[in-house]
C-alpha cells in the first residue's frame, strides 16, 4: 500500500485488501477501512479505522472461533532527513515511521495494528469451561462423569457437616 506524498495536503485512503497481503496466520477474509492522511510540511499524520476477522484458538477449550475486530489507526510518517530536528515528535501518543523518496507505506502500519489486536490468551467466551483434566472432554458441550463424580463426593460430606452443626445449635 504505497502512497506518493506529493500533490496533496489531505487525502482519504480506502482500505480493502485480502488477508493474504498481510502474512498474519490468524487473519481471515478482507481487511477494510478508511484512513485520512494529513500532510503538514514534512510530517504526515494518518488516522482512521480498520475492520478484520481473526480466527483464534481458545486457550481453555482449544476450539477455534472467529472474532470480528475494529481497531483505530493513528500513525505519523516523518521524512527521514528531518529525523534529528523533529525527534521530539516521537514522544507523542502515536507510532512514527520515517519515509524516504516521497513514498509512505501503510501496509506495515496496518499489519502491526492487526498483530497487536491478537490476544495472548484467546477465549472463545468469557465463561468458557475448558476441558476436563481427566478425559479431555470439552465441558462447554456438557459435563463428563469426572465433573459429576466430584460433585457427588463433596455433597454428602457437606450434608454431614451441616447436620453436625445443626445438632450443636
Ligand atoms: Zn473455549
Ligand atoms: Zn472428564
pLDDT of residue 25: 95
Contact call for residues 15 and 33 (beta carbons, < 8 A): yes
Residue 8 scores a pLDDT above 70: yes
Q: Give the residue numbers spanning the domain of 149.
A: 129-169
pLDDT at position 93: 57
pLDDT in tens, 98-121: 888 889 999 999 999 999 999 999
How many angstroms does the Cα of residue 150 sit away from the middle of ligand 2?
10
Strand pairing class (95-99; 64-79): parallel
- Mean pLDDT across the stretch 135-151? 85
Distance 122 CA to ligand 2 centre (A): 23
Does residue 151 carry a pLDDT above 80? no
Distance 61 CA to ligand 2 centre (A): 13
- For residues 87 and 168, membership in a common domain is answered with no
86-101 pLDDT tens trace: 555 555 556 888 888 8
The domain total for the chain is: 2
Q: Are residues 44 and 90 in the same domain?
A: yes
Residue 140: name the closest of 55, 53, 58 by CA. 58
Whether residue 73 is found in the same domain as residue 37: yes
Tens digit of pLDDT for each residue in 53-91?
999 999 999 999 999 999 999 999 998 875 555 555 555
Same-domain check for residues 8 and 81? yes
139 in the same domain as 107:
no
Q: Are residues 20 and 98 in the same domain?
A: yes
* CA of 59 relative to ligand 1 center, distance in Å: 7
Mean pLDDT in residue range 32-44: 93
Other CB atoms within a 10 A radius of the CB of residue 52 amount to 26
- Kindly state the cell numbers that stand for 133: 483434566
- Say if 123 falls within a structural domain: no
| pLDDT of 130 strictly over 80 | yes
How close is the Cα of 122 to the center of ligand 1, in Å? 8
Identify whether the C-beta of residue 145 lies closer than 8 Å to the C-beta of residue 137: no
Q: Is residue 84 part of a domain?
A: yes
What global pTM score does this model have? 0.76
121: in domain: no
Judge if 48 and 89 occupy the same domain. Answer: yes
Gap from CA of 153 to ligand 1 centroid (Å): 27
Does the pLDDT at position 125 exceed 60? yes
Tell me, rounded to whole angstroms, the distance of Cα 16 from its chain centroid.
19
Mark whether 59 and 109 lie in a shared domain.
yes
**Residue 165 and residue 163: Cα distance in Å, rounded?**
5
C-alpha cell of residue 102: 516521497
Which residue(s) pair with 65 in the sheet?
56
| Inter-residue contact 50 to 29 (CB < 8 Å) | no
Q: Answer with the residue of higher pLDDT: 84 or 3.
A: 3
Amino acid at each position: 500500500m504505497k502512497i506518493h506524498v506529493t500533490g496533496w495536503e489531505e487525502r482519504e485512503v480506502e482500505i480493502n485488501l485480502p488477508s493474504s497481503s498481510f502474512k498474519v496466520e490468524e487473519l481471515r477474509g478482507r481487511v477494510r477501512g478508511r484512513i485520512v492522511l494529513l500532510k503538514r510540511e514534512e510530517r504526515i499524520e494518518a488516522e482512521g479505522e480498520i475492520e478484520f476477522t481473526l480466527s483464534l484458538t481458545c486457550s481453555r477449550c482449544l476450539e477455534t472461533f472467529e472474532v470480528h475486530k475494529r481497531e483505530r489507526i493513528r500513525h505519523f510518517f516523518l521524512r527521514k532527513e528531518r529525523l534529528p530536528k523533529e525527534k521530539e515528535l516521537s514522544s507523542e501518543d502515536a507510532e512514527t515511521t520515517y519515509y524516504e523518496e516521497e513514498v509512505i507505506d501503510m501496509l506495515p502500519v496496518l499489519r502491526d495494528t492487526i498483530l497487536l489486536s491478537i490476544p495472548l490468551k484467546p477465549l472463545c467466551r468469557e465463561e468458557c469451561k475448558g476441558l476436563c483434566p481427566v478425559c479431555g472432554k470439552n465441558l462447554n458441550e456438557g459435563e463428563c462423569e469426572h465433573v459429576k463424580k466430584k460433585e457427588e463426593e463433596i455433597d454428602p460430606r457437606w450434608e454431614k457437616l451441616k447436620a453436625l452443626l445443626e445438632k450443636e445449635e
